């Protein structure tokens, strides 16, 4: 893998299911509103569904498409689409697919040559494996993008956030900022948890996304609506 520098962000999270897709979509909208030609990208997705027209889709990729202003068939946003929603390296092994970082970087580089900015949604948490030798941290490092950490606000997130920051620093990545995503309205001491993170994460705080109002919540096997992405975008700022 070769190192390269380009505009955009790598969005990682404290875990899987913490709101990386919501934040990625919101940031793409914000960049596009600023006139920056931006597209979403995901190194690998695990989990597909079949829509009403019989097309096999992945909900993260469909959200990134909506945010990027692309139709379903326009432009590949992901080199590896696996059907089963589980740890990608295991699903890949079971399907005799090699998740190759070089292929991921080639597709990413193709997008960076066409767009001003590429927002890369990571897979699960920061160090999810790709294969026996490589993990998503290696991919983030090779892309050389500033990283944004999405903290899914739930019990345990303080430790997960601080561990993730240590891992990013040990890989010489720039932490461009972090977002607190309110996964549940009922988290006890939400404000105190956020303050604890503000005191310990030495990177800009980009905002708190509230729990989505009921009409904006995502349905299973469907992307986020543009309204949900706009709502999230209204609560976070782009790193300076
Ligand atoms: N602010 C929020 N309010 C309400 N629900 C939310 C919020 N953020 C995320 N969720 C819910 O949490 C789930 C996971 O969110 P999302 O798919 O964005 O996470 P992810 O980190 O991208 O997951 P993955 O690791 O699968 O890519 C979704 O069902 C979504 O509806
Ligand atoms: C299928 C899921 N939604 C994610 N795309 C993949 C999460 C992998 C997590 C692996 C792990 O850390 O145990
Ligand atoms: Mg996602």
pLDDT digits (tens, 9 = 90+) for 204-232: 999 999 999 999 999 999 999 999 999 99
Q: State what percent of residues in the chain have pLDDT above 90.
A: 93
The pLDDT of residue 122:
98
Question: How many domains, in total, are found in the chain?
Answer: 1
Question: Does residue 240 sit within a domain?
Answer: no
Which ligand is nearest the CA of 179, by number? Answer: 1
Q: How far is CA 44 from CA 75, 93, 223, in A?
A: 15, 14, 17
Domain hosting 158: range is 8-233
Question: What pLDDT score does 54 carry?
Answer: 93
**Does 2 fall in a domain?**
no
The pocket around ligand 1, CB under 6 angstroms, is made up of: 13, 16-22, 60, 124, 181-183, 209, 211-212, 217-218
State residue 202's pLDDT score: 96
- How distant, in Å, are the alpha carbons of 37, 68, 123 from that of 8? 10, 13, 17
Residue 35 lies in a domain: yes
- Which pLDDT score is estimated for 75? 85
pLDDT at residue 82, rounded to an integer: 98
Question: CB under 8 Å to 159, separation ≥6 — which residues?
Answer: none
Angle at 54 between CA 50 and CA 57, to 5 degrees: 40
Q: Does the residue 138 lie in any domain?
A: yes
pLDDT at 5: 34
- CB–CB of 39/225 below 8 Å? no
* DSSP β-bridge partners for residue 46: 82
Contacts of 188 (CB under 8 A, 6+ apart): none
Residue 74, pLDDT score: 81
Residue ranges for the chain with pLDDT beneath 50:
1-6
Residues with CB under 6 A from ligand 2: 16, 46-47, 85-87, 123-125, 128
Name the β-bridge partners of 76.
Answer: none
3-state secondary structure (DSSP) of residue 203? coil
Residue 200 lies in a domain: yes
Structural domain contains residue 151: yes
CATH number at residue 229: 3.40.50.300
Question: Which ligand is closest in space to the CA of residue 150?
Answer: 1
């Amino acid at each position: 893998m070769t190192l390269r520098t380009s505009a955009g962000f790598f969005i990682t999270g404290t875990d899987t299911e913490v709101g990386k897709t919501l934040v990625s979509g919101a940031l793409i909208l914000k960049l596009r509103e600023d006139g920056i030609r931006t597209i979403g990208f995901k190194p690998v997705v695990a989990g597909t569904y079949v829509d009403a027209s019989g097309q096999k889709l992945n909900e993260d990729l469909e959200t990134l498409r909506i945010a990027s202003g692309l139709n379903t068939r326009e432009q590949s946003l992901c080199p590896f689409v696996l059907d089963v929603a589980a740890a990608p390296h295991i699903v890949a092994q079971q399907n005799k697919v090699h998740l190759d970082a070089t292929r991921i970087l080639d597709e990413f580089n193709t997008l960076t040559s066409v767009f001003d900015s590429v927002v890369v949604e990571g897979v699960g948490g920061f160090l999810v494996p790709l294969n026996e030798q490589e993990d998503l941290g290696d991919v983030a490092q090779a892309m050389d993008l500033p990283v944004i950490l999405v903290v899914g606000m739930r019990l345990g997130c303080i430790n997960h956030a601080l561990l993730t920051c240590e891992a990013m620093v040990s890989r010489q990545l720039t932490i461009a900022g972090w977002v607190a995503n309110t996964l549940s309205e009922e988290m006890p001491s939400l404000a105190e948890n956020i303050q604890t993170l503000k005191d310990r994460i030495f990177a800009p705080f980009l905002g708190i996304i509230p729990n989505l109002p009921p009409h904006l919540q995502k349905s299973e096997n469907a992307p986020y609506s543009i309204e949900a992405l706009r709502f999230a975008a209204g609560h976070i700022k782009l790193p300076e």
